[in-house]
Amino acid sequence: MSAARRAPPWRRRLLGRQNQNLWFWVFVGPFFAGLVLFIYVPIAWSAYLSFFEAYNTVSPTRMVGFANYTDMLGDPNFRSSLTTFLVFAAFIVPTTFALSLATAVLVARTRVAQAFFRSVFFLPTACSYVVAALIWKMSIFSGVRSGLANTVLGWFGAESVPWLSVTNPPWYWLVIVSARLWLQVGFYMILFLAGLQRIGPHLYEAAAIDGATGWKAFRHITFPLLRPTSTAVLLLLLINAFQAFDEFFNILSSFGTYPPYARPPLVYLYYTALGQGQDFGHGSAGAIILTAVIAVIAVAFNRLFVREAD
Amino acid sequence: MAVVDRSRGARLGALARYTALGVAAALFLVPFYLLFRNALMTEAELTSPTWHLLPSWRWENFTLLFSDPAVPMARSLLNSLAIAITQTLGVLVVSGLAGYGLARIPYRWSNLVFYAVTASLLIPAAVTFVPSFVLVSSLGWVSTLRGLIIPGLFQALATFLFRQFYLGFPKEIEEAAFIDGLGYWGTFWRVVVPNSGGFAAAIATITFIGSWNAFLWPLVIAQDSEAWTVQIALSTFLTAQSVDLAELFVAAVVAILPLLLMFLFLQRWIVEGVERTGIAGD
């Protein structure tokens, strides 16, 4: 900059403008280079690999056209992994949303011990999915008598349930879903609490004068005004549901094997691409199909929730 | 009369609210109770069919865990710590700079670069794990700290949030610095950075938690036990053929203790941080 100041005016202007471009890349360059190298290049490479037969190699020579795609779409296991995701998302997204909102509303209206309740619900955010899976699998829902769930059943004279080793009824869903709820509800509650704080108390006072309190006030004031928060929370929950891997892997797999049911897409891809076969061709095709599905859902979500709000 | 009724109704409402919150809070604490109880039990207590409300306080479990040669717990803890700290500092610098550049330095293709950032937000990072693994393995970074740390330094969300934050940063301060002859670089480090402490702390907290608890990427990259993070070590014991239950729970306690202490002592600050980043619609 000092060089620019000493230079004659025409040069200063030129230098100044050049400097601006230069400085933009000094600031943004490192991040952008990393973004390209670790996100965009892998996606492009993946798209390339998806048209090749690539077992154990990333520089394949045999092109197979769309065969990997048709294989994946024709593979009942891959299709069932997509169904698994849809069922899982259809349950976990609205449930987490409702529970987080309910806790936020209850905590916000509490005067005594508010900080305590907030802390307790938020604390699980400190836990990883691995730790939660461990507690759920080995202590709460362990199939033996010493597990908490079976102990409680025992108090009522009921038989022990092998929570993770039966598929009919599919009790493992209860295990997986409750673990995720415990981990997530507190975080989204905090986001809702922040949203609730932005709603001015005078609105409720005015509504109370008109006779709207309780559920009516929630329905006509709280919920509509929480819209930006609600939209963001829904989107984050959806993205998180799509990435479900940790708890499925840790709760259901044992000694390197995974049961044939309850495989969300990432678990399926993990075993396809990084398992014994190292099948990068099919794994990449699956990743591209998943990306496409996410893009479609994101666009639909945008149409449904974001546009409407404007 | 009506006043009395309403206050009784209000009191009943408050009672119901506190009962609901109390029950929910108790349920939320049960897993923590089980974790700590189990960590201090003997193997016999852990498998006994009768319920033990309290453990026999077997503190040796901790020394047993760290002296077990088959379990690289100390090494995994060090790895996790090194990864979480470098990633947190790295993300602050890389995303802080990029966010400021995108928000404040006029450049013809600035918008295009910003679109590339937001578009990558829509692609869940986990979907790219197969191609990213391919890339990182061709760089020869499998089972290295480099492979675990470097790809995690480029967080589009952190850059996005920093940009939003700097867009709202008071321009007058920067203009004064500019007039004093500080260029973009000087203004950023001497004026902007000292005034973004709170926001940077919020991003740092979120990054640290995410990094410490990360699972899929370390699972893919850390194939040798020397490169294991705490989460991978835990997961390996959990899915192993024979499990030493007492050791498993002690390991889990060790794995969550750093974050748990952080949460207990910095709780207020973390909560404000999460709210402050404006992740959820501002």
**Cβ-based contacts of B102 with chain A (< 8 Å):** 28
For every residue of A100-137, which 3-state class applies, written as one string?
HHHHHHHHHCCCCCHHHHHHHHHHHHHCCHHHHHHHHH
The answer to whether A269 faces chain B, any CB pair under 8 Å, is: yes
Compute CA distances A5 → A17, A198, B178, whole Å: 13, 47, 12
pLDDT truncated to tens, each residue of chain A (310 aa)?
A: 444 455 555 545 445 555 788 889 999 999 999 999 998 888 888 888 889 888 877 777 788 888 999 999 998 988 998 888 888 999 999 999 999 999 999 999 888 888 899 989 999 988 999 999 999 999 899 878 788 898 889 889 888 888 888 888 889 999 999 999 999 999 999 999 988 988 878 888 888 888 877 788 888 888 888 888 898 898 889 888 888 889 999 998 877 778 888 888 888 888 888 777 788 888 888 888 888 888 888 788 878 876 655 4
Which among B130, B259, B263 is the nearest to A284, CB-wise? B130
B282 contact residues in A (CB cutoff 8 A): 228
Confidence of residue B127 (pLDDT cuts 50, 70, 90): low
Beta partners for B124?
none
Count CB atoms within 10 A of the CB of residue B268.
11
Amino acid (one-letter) located at B93:
V
Which residue on chain B is closest to A241 by alpha carbon? B124
Residue A309 touches partner B, C-beta closer than 8 Å: no
Q: Is A306 on the interface with B (CB under 8 A)?
A: no
* A67-131+171-176+183-309 placed in CATH 1.10.3720.10: yes
pLDDT digits (tens, 9 = 90+) for B155-208: 998 999 899 889 988 888 888 887 787 888 888 999 899 988 888 888 888 899
Predicted confidence at residue A11, as pLDDT, reads 47
Output the pLDDT for position B214: 93
CB contact A215 to B (< 8 Å): no
Bridge-partner residues for A279, per DSSP? Answer: A55
- E-strand ranges in chain A read none
Among A39, A78, A188, A245, pick the best mutation site for testing chain B contact (most B Cβ within 10 A): A39
Q: Do A126 and B263 touch (CB under 8 A)?
A: yes
Give the gap in angstroms from C-alpha A140 to the nearest C-alpha of chain B.
8
CA distance A25 to chain B (A): 8
Task: Answer whether residue B255 shows pLDDT above 50.
Answer: yes
CB contact under 8 A, B31 and A27: no
Alpha carbon of B246: minimum distance to chain A alpha carbons (Å): 11
pLDDT at B6: 60
What interface predicted TM-score (ipTM) does this complex get? 0.88
In chain A, the residue whose alpha carbon lies closest to the alpha carbon of B218 is: A246
pLDDT bucket at B1, cuts 50 / 70 / 90: very low
Cβ contact A31–B94 (<8 Å): yes
Contact between A289 and A282 (Cβ < 8 Å): no
